């Protein structure tokens, strides 16, 4: 899948977002090492701490299907403002993804997307080894 196709998958899933409070739809498309793509959108709840973020929904779908090796993540908001995963989502991604996971952030039509690695977005992450 090309980078633009991965971004388009993240954009498309935004239509399913439930965002009555923020009115800020986010979509994520997570590509596995073998090329399968799982999408997620944000689902808000009146109790904000119970809301689900797009990246969490996408990784939950992939893990549920047995995937544990990921190559790229595309993230897009309805505003096409270069949104990156929040700190909580970065930590969730770090639980299942290596530091070299490519994170593609949608800057909008006609603009090149921003690209980071998970390690750049979340240096010195909390790991399982730290808890031993």
Residues serving a catalytic function are: 55
Structure tokens at 124: 């010195």
CA–CA gap between residue 42 and residue 76 (Å, rounded)? 11
Alpha-carbon distances, residue 100 vs 58, 70, 71 (angstroms): 18, 10, 8
Inter-residue contact 6 to 27 (CB < 8 Å):
no
Inter-residue contact 120 to 73 (CB < 8 Å):
no
């Amino acid at each position: 899948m090309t980078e633009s196709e991965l971004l388009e998958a993240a954009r498309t899933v935004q239509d399913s977002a439930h965002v009555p409070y923020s009115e800020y739809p986010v979509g994520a498309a997570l590509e596995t090492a073998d090329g399968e793509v799982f999408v997620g959108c944000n689902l808000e709840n009146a109790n904000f701490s119970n809301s689900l973020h797009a990246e969490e929904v996408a990784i939950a779908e992939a893990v549920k299907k047995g995937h544990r090796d990921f190559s790229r993540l595309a993230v897009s908001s309805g505003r096409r403002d270069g949104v990156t995963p929040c700190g909580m989502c970065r930590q969730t991604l770090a639980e299942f993804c290596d530091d070299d996971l490519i994170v593609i952030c949608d800057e909008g039509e006609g603009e090149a997307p921003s690209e980071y690695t998970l390690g750049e977005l979340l240096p010195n992450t909390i790991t399982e080894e730290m808890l031993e």
